[in-house]
Structure 1
Amino acid sequence: MKKNKNRLTYKKSGVDIAKASSLISVLKDKRKRSGVLSGIGGFASLFAIDNKKYKNPVIVCGTDGVGTKLKLATLLNQHNSIGQDLLAMCVNDVITTGADPILFLDYLATGSINLKIHKTVLKGIKSACDKHNIILIGGETAEMPGMYSKNDYDLAGFCVGLVDKKNILDKKNVKKDNLLVGINSSGIHSNGFSLINNLINKKFLSLNKKINNIDIKKALIKPTLIYSDIIKKISMVVRLKSMSHITGGGITENLPRVIPDNLTAKVIRNSWVMPKIFKIIQEKSRLTDDDMLKTFNCGLGMIIIIDKKDELKVHNIIKKNGFRSYTIGKIIKRMKNQSICYD
């Protein structure tokens, strides 16, 4: 075949296969991981379930992204913690079933691979997985010229967990007088950023200022907490009734998802400390308290439902492991058509 300088190649069309291969090299794990039969590099990944640990195994799957927090990461040119955000959003959903998060896969889409930025992102994902003993077993990098503006990218994650069938958390186990215990968030986490970005665009909120001694950009980009380890430690001591990951929709929309239709979650508004960053956002956006509670986590990233007799034990475990917790209310008999009420 004749060489033709004018030929139109895949690389000239904007897809650099060599660059993509270089990118995923940072993800390969030389360690031998239990259960992994085939990992990164093949067409699909293989994992063998430990039938001694899970005698009646149920596979639990969750997928999520980090939404428009990516716009903030790009604006600040801070991409090192966005991988933890991605892992957290998926893992924190999966563990609400009682499952152990086992495997993770990522999807990164961009118009053109930027090795510096995208290696930083993928290293962040790998680091977060390693820290929480979750196997990054595969993923996909999609280079799509013309689909994204320069340096823009999107992320999605996929978490696979395992739970023994008898240990599945089911909302039918929630009873009247069970307690609601909230575990602190690190801040905004990865929800509500469309509103926050709008505040920034309209210059109602400045990233380069401190308000009430709060460094705004640091507070906003702070990574989402991953609750799998602390929940595991609690579950080894007490039997959890149910659990809610407080994501988009805030406490108001997420807590009712794990409560039976004949009961109501009664939440005491002043029972926990709401971080200053939420108060700043509320002031700048002029949102009501009710709006805040159905938009942001307001300082609580996970809410667990427990038996009253386990309250002290649960708070002690959480405190010993570096988190803060608050008894924020209880389960009561159904009130009208309300699955949640505030006092």
Structure 2
Amino acid sequence: MNKKPVTYRDSGVDIKAGYEAVKLMQQHVKSTFRKEVLTDIGGFGGLFSLDVERFKKPVLVSGTDGVGTKLKIAFMMDKHDTVGIDCVAMCVNDIICSGAEPLFFLDYIACGRLLPEKAALIVEGVARGCREAGCSLIGGETAEMPGFYPDGEYDIAGFAVGVVDRDRIIDGSSIRPGDIVIGLPSSGLHSNGFSMVRKIFFGMAKISTGDYIPELGCTLGEELLKPTRIYAGTVLELIENFEIKGIAHITGGGFFENLPRVLPKGRDIIVRRSSWEVPPVFHLIQKTGDVDEREMFSTFNMGIGLVLITSPYEGDKLVSLLKTKGEKACIIGEVVDGNGEVKVI
């Protein structure tokens, strides 16, 4: 029997598309390089030379995350240039909670069929996120997995590494009753709670991504795809000028899960719900899905993407400085004696 030789492409993997994707990504990747980067893309590992002279006792801080089902919105809208920002933000916002400066980032994109232009758009977003965070995109992987992901769909995850001096690690251990809780605003939903969001808007209310929502001032899809804010630059400046005792990234689990992670034993946080204006998208979710308020604070950031804890002597000065920079920060609560709980009142 005469059989046609089987190629890798016959099984659904196009190696040439992979080469083309790398070419399209190169300009975006190189735009993120700090002086410490020693390698170009395409090697087996990314090399980064740590400037140990800047730190007495350097400690590396790492974090990894993805974008979750927010990607479904990108698929529905066929818009792929912002989810990379989300991926970077979810990782670097975690490591800055220890006071770490983000150094470098690596991404992993898996898809059913690799389209070079789409992959380049995703990485363009990753590069934008890295530039905003001040870190370098020094490596990554694009995996074509036919039969595993539907055509047109993909997943993205990332890994960030930062550095902090051991004596300057922020771990919450110095938090005391009377300390002030400061909230930095989010850009919207960020990258959490999208399984609930999709159930409410698309499953229950039958709203489409292209529908204009007057209270949002944009289409539903535009609101849902707003990229996660990156707080690295703001936080790094603050820790140079103020005593920041604790930092919490408000992600999945909302206030009730994330704030206790920075509290020492015997401390509670009281959050005053009226101290900031909750963005309209959260009201829309709550009203459309008839969601209990505690469930909202357990799932979403409710307009506060990052929380800082400092002494009462520095709270007002810190907020004033942020306002001069156009940051709508506000004091949202205080630390009290307790059992490691968060109370929203």
TM-score by length of 2: 0.94
**Contact residue 60 and residue 161 of structure 1 kept, 8 A:** yes
Q: Which stretch of structure 1 is more off in the superposition, 256-265 or 45-54? A: 45-54
User: For this pair of structures, how many residues does the alignment match?
Assistant: 338
Deviates more, 1:278-287 or 1:316-325: 316-325
Deviation at residue 133 of structure 1 after TM alignment: 2.1
CA contact 2:266–2:340 (8 Å) conserved in 1: no
Distance in 1 separating the partners of 2:104 and 2:214: 40
- Determine if the alignment matches structure 1 residue 8 to structure 2 residue 11: no
1: distance between equivalents of 2:141 and 2:276? 41
Whichever residue aligns with residue 331 of structure 2, its letter is: T
Contact 1:58 1:164 in 2 (8 A): yes
Moved more, 87-96 or 260-269: 260-269
- Identity within the alignment, %: 38
The question of whether the paired residues in 2 share the 8 Å contact of 1:70 and 1:82 is answered with yes
CA distance in 2: counterparts of 1:196 and 1:16, whole angstroms: 35
Deviations 1:282-321 (A, max 9, x none): 0111111101000000000000001111112211222233
Q: Map 1:250-269 to 2 at 5 A.
A: 250-269=254-273
Instruction: Kindly report which structure 2 residues correspond to 1:176-325, keeping only aligned pairs within 5 A, or say none.
Output: 176-204=177-205, 206=207, 207=209, 208-215=211-218, 216-325=220-329
Structure-1 separation of matches of 2:105 and 2:241:
27
For 1:290, what is the secondary structure of its paired residue? helix
Alignment of 1:1-343 (within 5 A): 6-25=4-23, 26-27=25-26, 28-29=29-30, 33-204=34-205, 206=207, 207=209, 208-215=211-218, 216-334=220-338, 337=339, 339-343=341-345
Range with greater deviation from structure 2 (100-109 or 24-33)? 24-33
Supply the distance in 2 between the matched residues of 1:19 and 1:54 (Cα, whole angstroms). Answer: 43
1:306 and 1:338, CA in 2 relative to 1: closer, same or farther beyond 3 A? closer
**Amino acid corresponding to residue 178 of structure 2 in structure 1:** D
Matched residue type, 1:20: G
Deviates more, 1:21-30 or 1:234-243: 21-30
SS of alignment partner, residue 228 of structure 2: coil
Deviations 1:28-49 (A, max 9, x none): 4278732222242111112121
Query: Compared with structure 1, are the counterparts of its residues 22 and 212 closer, same or farther at alpha carbon in structure 2 (3 Å cutoff)?
Result: same
**TM-score normalized by the length of structure 1:** 0.95
Letter in 2 for 1:239: E
Measured after TM superposition, the shift of residue 13 of structure 1 is 1.0
**Any stretches of 5+ residues in structure 2 without a counterpart?**
none
Contact 1:233 1:317 in 2 (8 A): no
The answer to whether the 8 A contact 1:109-1:143 is kept is: yes
| Matching residue's letter, 1:307 | S
Matched letter for residue 339 of structure 1: E
Give the C-alpha shift of residue 272 in structure 1: 0.9
Partner letter of residue 278 of structure 1?
Answer: F
> Bigger CA drift: 26-35 or 255-264?
26-35
Q: Structure 1 residue 72: deviation in Å?
A: 0.4
Q: Aligned to 1:171, what secondary structure does the other structure show?
A: coil
Greater helix share, structure number: 2
Structure 2: which amino acid aligns with 1:24?
V
Structure 1 unaligned residues grouped into runs of 5+: none
- Structure 1 residue identity aligned to 2:83: I
Paired AA for residue 243 in structure 2: R
Contact map agreement 1:214 1:277 (CA 8 A) in 2: no
Letter in 2 for 1:83: G
Q: Whole-Å Cα distance in 2 between the matches of residues 101 and 205 of structure 1?
A: 41
CA shift in 2, pair 1:87/1:11, >3 Å = same
1:146 partner letter: G
Range moving further from structure 2, 179-188 or 10-19: 10-19
What is the SS of the residue equivalent to 2:277? coil
Q: 1:88 to 1:315 in 2, by over 3 A?
A: same
1:5 positional shift: 7.6
State which drifts further: 293-302 or 26-35: 26-35
